[in-house]
Each structure stands twice: as structure tokens, then as C-alpha cells.
Chain A
Amino acid sequence: MDDLDYSAVGMPVRHELRAAHRLIFEHVRAPGNWWTGVQRVAIAAEARRATSCPLCRARKEGLSPSAVSGEHVDTGALPPNVVDVVHRIRTDPGRLSHAWFEGVVAAGLDAPHYVELVAVVTLVTGVDFFCRSLGLASFPLPDPLPGTPSCHLPASARPGTAWVPMIAPEDATGAEADMYPPAPFIPNIVRALSLVPDAVRTLWRSSDAHYLPVAEIGNPAARPAALDRMQTELIAARVSALNECFY
């Protein structure tokens, strides 16, 4: 994969962030547990396409997203039910509901495929927001790697408090033994993607670089590089409020 170009920022971008972005793009282009590399890059491209989709814009402005019908403007590379899920997560995540998720599964996208899709959409969305913030054009998506999905379903994933099964830290053994970071407390946000262990590994390493190491999240004295903790939490709270996110 070509190096990502930050030169237009006009100032240094620290190594940890560059490494995280490279890790994310390497993760996206590789075959996953349930999707091929080609499909995963197509999901990433669809997530970007969603930002200019007129249907998504109309739904976002609507009282309820289900009250606005129509067809997405999409890349044509994915089935319509997958396109709809990708677009909703990218453009209107705050109004996703348990009933909506159950409808997604009923329409043929099972939980493992769904979780892997969520990982690809969200990780690429984060990199895109980083670029937008700094005035960079979005990085070109990587070329997909060949290969087939592993179809690995962690045996220790259990239904529980989320819509999707998750692995409790004490059950992360064997192939999943290194899935969670070393920390006294593993929050649900880190467990959320555990049906797809490599997504968890990529997510927390990305979080380490962009925000705080997982072990430090509960420590009010911890702060990311160059900002104080109050500034950090102010930005985080504003982003989450604009995304209508309670978590």
C-alpha cells in the first residue's frame, strides 16, 4: 500500500496517528472473517458515497428516517440491503434502533457479517473525519488483497446486553487471548466488535493513537498529546451530541 500523504497539512502529524491510519487501511483491504478484501473495500467506498446520497440527506432531515422512501445513490457494488445499512451507519447513526437492527438481520445480514461491516464503515469514517478536519482530501482507498474470509466465529461470544453477541474479557482465551488491551477495565465500546477479533484489535490500537489508551480512559488525570483533558472531553462531548449519541 502506498504511504498516506499528509503534506498538505503543512505541519507534522505524529507518528502514532500515521501508523494508526496505515493499520486501518491494511485492515480494511485484507480479507476478514466474513467478507473478502474486495467486498470490504467496496463497503468503505459505499460509506463515502453515503455522504453525498440525496436519500440519506432527506432522511436525516426527516422526523423519522423510515418516513422517507426512495433509492440510495450508491456505487453499485453491493446488494441493496447492505447499501442501506452502510448508508444509515455513516449518515444517521443516532437513530439506529434495536428494531431496525432486527430488521437488518431478518433481511439476510447476519450478526457476524453485520459486525464486520460496522468495523469497516466506522474505522474509515474516522480517518475521513481526520482528513476533513485538517483540510486534507480523503485518502484514496487501498487496493483489496486477494483471499477468502476465514469464517472464524469465536466460540466464546455470547448474547447479552448489546444487540450483537460479545466476548467477555474473562472468556477471551485461545486465539482471542490477545484481543483486548491490557487494562483493568474493558468498556463495552471495546467489546462491541468482538465477534470479529481483528476489528477489536484495530479499534483499540486506533483509539490509543487518536484519544487515550484503553487503560487510561477511566483516569481523569490522563490526557492525549498536546491537549488538556477538559479540552479533549469538550470536543468529544460536542461530537457525540451532534451525532446524537448517548454512549
Chain B
Amino acid sequence: MNGEAISDVGVAHAAELLAFTEAVMRGDDAWVARTRAALRAVLSPEAYVAVAAIIAAFNVVDRVADATGIPLDPMLLGMSADVRDELQLERFASSANTRETP
């Protein structure tokens, strides 16, 4: 797969993936470059490009969802209920779009 390192959340290379994602979303170019180097050291070239693709995809999904006010589908809500509870996602303003659904 992508190496042997398993973080305490049980996901391979979680620390590098999270640091890189945060840098791309919020950081300056130097921060992105540092975390990119760390990520490239542990992932295959194909996996590294795939990380960029997932970051791109969810920047689209999040904006489409929040700009159109769609509620989360009941099936997807059910699949992710535990994670949503753990991460306290109800605190986000956009959760109102799901709460308001009849």
C-alpha cells in the first residue's frame, strides 16, 4: 500500500496527510512546501497526486453543498452519525440545512 506507518487514528501516514491538507487549506507557500516534502517521502507518486485530487474534490463538494443549502441525505447521515457526533459537526452553521429538513 503506502508504507507501514500507522498513526494512532489507525490510518496510514495520517500525520503527514493531515499536516499537508491543513497547509494547503490555510498555510502559506513555505508551509505547503514543507508538508509536501514530508508527504512525498512516505507516499508513492500516484498516491501523492491522489491526495491533491481528494483535496480538490472536497473543496468543490463543500462549496456546492453550502451554497445551495442541500441537506445531508438520510442514508449518508446514517453512515456517518458516529463520526459526526465525535467531531461535533453540528457546530457548523451549515448543519442548519440538514436540521431544517422536514
Contact = CB atoms under 8 A, between A and B. Distances in A.
Interface of A: 9, 11-14, 17, 89-90, 93-98, 101, 115, 118-119, 121-123, 125-127, 129-130, 132-135, 161-164, 166, 185, 187-189, 191-193, 203, 206-207, 209-211, 217-218, 220, 224-228, 230-232, 234-247
A206 B55 contact: no
A209 B59 CA distance: 14
Nearest to A242: B25
Nearest to B33: A135
B52 interface: yes
B87 interface: yes
Q: Which 10 A-B pairs have the closest CB atoms?
A: A163-B69, A133-B52, A247-B65, A210-B57, A245-B62, A130-B56, A126-B60, A226-B46, A11-B45, A246-B95
A230 B50 contact: no
Given A125-B63, A218-B75, A239-B58, A230 B11 contact: yes
Given A89-B63, A135-B36, A192-B68, A234 B18 contact: yes
A238 B63 contact: no
Contacts of A115: 68
Given A118-B68, A243-B62, A94 B49 contact: no
A122 B64 contact: yes
Contact of A227 (B50, B56, B96): B50
A239 B62 contact: yes
B49 A13 contact: yes
B24 A129 contact: yes
B13 A231 contact: yes
Contact of B54 (A119, A125, A230, A236): A236
6 contacts: A12-B46, A130-B52, A185-B75, A187-B73, A243-B59, A244-B94
B53 A17 contact: yes
B92 A246 contact: yes
Contacts of A243: 25, 58-59, 62-63, 66
Contacts of B38: none
Interface of B: 1-2, 9-14, 17-18, 20-22, 24-26, 32-33, 36, 44-73, 75-76, 79, 83-84, 87, 89-90, 92-98, 100-102
Contacts of B45: 11-12
B55 A130 contact: yes
A93 B66 contact: yes
A97 B60 CA distance: 18
Given A231-B17, A245-B61, A246-B98, 9 more contacts: A96-B93, A122-B60, A134-B49, A188-B65, A189-B70, A242-B26, A245-B66, A247-B66, A247-B70
A231 B70 contact: no
A210 B9 CA distance: 24
- With most chain B CB atoms within 10 A of its CB, the pick from A127, A132, A209 is A132
A17 B100 CA distance: 36
A238 B18 contact: yes
Contacts of B62: 93-94, 239-240, 243, 245, 247
A118 B63 contact: yes
A185 B68 CA distance: 19
